[in-house]
């Protein structure tokens, strides 16, 4: 078996936040994220991701129950480790909660969570979420110390940040891209060894997804911005199906 082959099916989680970004540019109800959720389900998405940011710039509180009612797919709620967000998660009881770092001035989630330096607080933050039945994931850089810390604080899942890899794909720096890919491969292997389920995401598109989808320990990719952008040209269903095809090809 070569390194790029895996028997594990690779799930696709579709992040529909940016449907809300377009809606919020005008106010009102259109386009409706719950409708996007239904189309993603029809297109064969395995799950949906929504990021309720502190400033509510994408999805807003009322979107969450509407999306959960519209589909039967598992919902992955991305959120910062704040009391307000935990209260919302405990009320909604989504399938999974992915804890991300959040800064108001950033355009997107720029870095991974600093788990190693914040382990006591995170352990206490995670415990009630797990008790309520949520699968808790931490969004981290592909860094050995962070993977080990994620296992220590009681996360069941890690999501590896692919943003740097994607940036190097775009800027044509092949050696930096390969180095980042190497870090992703070894973080995924370590995560699995430590008993964690390993996901990845951020910045993925048709061109750069192949080498990531080929990492054998990965069981889920979460992809948003590119798919919603591509949907403008080909429709959301076609964009999701094409992404799935690229992921499948990488696993063959
Ligand atoms: N995973 C996490 C934890 C994220 O914060 C994001 C961005 O919201 C994504 C995946 C999806 O990234 P993108 O929108 O670039 O595909």
- Does 46 reside within a domain? yes
Residue 6's pLDDT is: 52
Q: How many angstroms is it from 30 CA to the middle of ligand 1?
A: 22
* Rounded average pLDDT over 39-50: 98
Over residues 186-222, the pLDDT tens digits come to 999 999 999 999 999 999 999 999 999 999 999 999 9
Q: From ligand 1's centre to the CA of 1, what distance in Å?
A: 31
Closest ligand 1 atom number to CA of residue 204 = 16
How many other CB atoms sit within 10 Å of the CB of residue 178?
13
Question: By CB neighbour count within 10 A (0-12 exposed, 13-18 middle, 19+ buried), where does 61 fall?
Answer: exposed
- What CATH code is carried by the domain that includes residue 110? 3.20.20.70
Average pLDDT over residues 54-58: 92
| Residue 78 bears catalytic tag | yes
Alpha-carbon Rg of the chain, whole angstroms?
17
Cβ-based neighbours of 191, under 8 Å, separated by 6 or more = 147, 150, 151, 158, 160, 197, 198, 217
Closest atom of ligand 1 relative to the 15 alpha carbon: 11
The DSSP output letter for 195 is T
Is the minimum distance from the CB of 159 to ligand 1 under 6 angstroms?
yes
Whether residue 152 has pLDDT greater than 90: yes
Give the pTM: 0.94
pLDDT over 70, % of the chain:
94
Question: 31 lies in a domain?
Answer: yes
Q: Phi, psi at residue 47, to the nearest 5°?
A: -170, 170
CA distances for 211 relative to 78, 125, 159, 180, angstroms: 25, 34, 16, 11
> What is the mean pLDDT of the segment spanning 119-137?
96
Task: Please name the helix (run of DSSP H) or strand (run of DSSP E) that holds residue 125, with its range, or none.
Answer: helix 119-131
Q: What is the pLDDT of residue 5?
A: 47
| Ligand 1 in reach of 102 Cβ (< 6 A) | no
Q: Is 51 a catalytic residue?
A: yes
Q: Is 198 in the pocket of ligand 1 (CB under 6 A)?
A: no
232 SS3 class? helix
Lowest mean per-residue pLDDT among 107-121, 161-175, 226-240: 107-121
Q: Measured in angstroms, how far is the CA atom of residue 206 from the centroid of ligand 1?
A: 15
- For residue 2, being part of any structural domain is answered with no
How many Cα atoms occupy the beta-carbon half-sphere of 7 within 13 Å? 1
Question: Which residue among 58, 161, 168, 202 is the active-site one?
Answer: 202
- What number is the average pLDDT over the span 70-91? 97
- Ligand 1: which atom is nearest the Cα of residue 222? 10
- 204 Cβ below 6 A of ligand 1: yes
Point out the catalytic residue in the list 18, 51, 161, 199. 51
- Quickly state the pLDDT bin for 111 (edges 50, 70, 90): confident
Examine the pLDDT at 4 and tell me if it is beyond 50: no
Residue 109's pLDDT band (cuts 50, 70, 90): low
Residue 58: partners with Cβ closer than 8 Å, 6 or more residues away: 17, 18, 20, 21, 24, 50, 51
- Cβ atoms within 10 Å, residue 165: 27
109 CB less than 6 Å from ligand 1? yes
Residue in 215, 201, 202, 205 with CA at minimum distance from that of residue 239:
205
Domain total of the chain: 1
Which DSSP letter does residue 116 get? G
> Which domain covers residue 221, as residue numbers?
11-251
- Output the pLDDT for position 24: 96
- pLDDT tens track for 83-104: 999 999 999 999 999 999 987 6
The predicted model gives 7-13 an average pLDDT of 85
pLDDT at 104: 64
Residue 14 has pLDDT above 80, yes or no: yes
In a domain, 124, yes or no: yes
Known catalytic residue: 54?
Answer: no
- In the prediction, which pLDDT does 9 show? 84
1 domain residue, yes or no: no
CA of 232 to the centre of ligand 1 (A): 19
């Amino acid at each position: 078996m070569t390194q790029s082959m895996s028997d594990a099916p690779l799930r696709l989680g579709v992040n529909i936040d940016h449907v809300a970004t377009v809606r919020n540019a005008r106010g009102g109800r259109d386009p409706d994220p719950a409708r996007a959720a239904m189309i993603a389900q029809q297109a064969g998405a395995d799950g949906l991701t929504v990021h309720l940011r502190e400033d509510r710039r994408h999805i807003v509180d009322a979107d969450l129950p509407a999306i959960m009612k519209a589909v039967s797919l598992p919902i992955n709620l991305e959120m910062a480790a704040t009391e307000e967000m935990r209260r919302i998660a405990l009320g909604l009881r989504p399938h999974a909660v992915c804890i991300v770092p959040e800064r108001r001035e950033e355009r997107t989630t720029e870095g991974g969570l600093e788990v190693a330096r914040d382990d006591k607080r995170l352990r206490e933050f995670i415990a009630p979420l797990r008790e309520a039945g949520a699968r808790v994931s931490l969004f981290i850089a592909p860094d050995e110390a962070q993977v080990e810390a994620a296992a220590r604080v009681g996360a069941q899942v890690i999501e590896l940040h692919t943003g740097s890899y994607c940036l190097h794909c775009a800027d044509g720096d092949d050696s930096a891209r390969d180095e980042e890919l190497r870090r992703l491969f070894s973080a995924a292997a370590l995560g699995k060894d430590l008993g964690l389920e390993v996901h990845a995401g951020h910045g993925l598109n048709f061109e750069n997804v192949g080498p990531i989808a080929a990492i054998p320990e990965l069981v889920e990719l979460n992809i948003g911005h590119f798919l919603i952008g591509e949907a403008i040209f080909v429709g959301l269903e076609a964009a999701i199906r094409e992404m799935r095809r690229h992921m499948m090809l990488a696993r063959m």
